[in-house]
Amino acid sequence: MGPEREIDELADEKGWLVGDGSASGFVQDICDSLPVSSIDGASRPQWLAESGQMDGDNGKALLVGVPKLCPEWSKAVKQAVAGTYERWFGNGTYVVSSKPPTAEEAEEDMVTIPPGTYRAKGRMEDCYWERTSKGGEIIDNQFATSAQSITVTIAPSDGQFTAERCEVWKPVK
């Protein structure tokens, strides 16, 4: 019996619902997507957790199936399930909060960024970022016509963080 069949039989036995196709097909789609999933500015576990890929029984199917079909992504799946992953951010405006978004914020598609120090690396031209107060006043900002690395510390008291034409912001360890 191959790994695909094992995954499908376990999903049938447990009654897991994983969309329109087979459990192994779903897992294989995720295995194929993970190598390019961070393109939109999210870490791979973040993409799994925040894109709905772990919703319902999908997380169970991935916990079982990924080690069989693409074991190199097992750690990303475990981090997504546990919620212990780095959050990366691309261009956009983010509400600064150490708490998950409220139902109202989620409904308004407000994305939160936790306070901390972040760095964007790569070739950046005309990168602009700003930290604002909860009232919208600019606390700090920068326009870099050309840069290879920019580091910003976002304070818990900040209201929002905005970035335009920058690389992906990753937490500084």
**Residue 59 within a domain:** yes
Q: Looking at the structure, tell me whether residues 108 and 45 fall in a common domain.
A: no
Q: Looking at the structure, tell me whether residues 46 and 18 fall in a common domain.
A: yes
pLDDT tens-place string over residues 52-63: 888 888 888 999
**Residue 54 within a domain:** yes
Structure tokens at 170: 């990753």
Does 39 have pLDDT greater than 60? Answer: no
Q: Looking at the structure, tell me whether residues 78 and 97 fall in a common domain.
A: no
State which residues form the domain around 55. Answer: 3-82
**Residue 62 within a domain:** yes
Q: Looking at the structure, tell me whether residues 112 and 65 fall in a common domain.
A: no
What φ, ψ does residue 147 adopt, rounded to 5°? -155, 155
**Nearest-angstrom CA–CA distance, 48 and 162:** 24
pLDDT tens-place string over residues 97-129: 887 666 666 566 667 889 999 999 999 999 999
Q: What is the structure's pLDDT at 121? A: 94
Does 42 have pLDDT greater than 90? Answer: no
Q: Looking at the structure, tell me whether residues 104 and 64 fall in a common domain.
A: no
Q: What is the structure's pLDDT at 68? A: 94
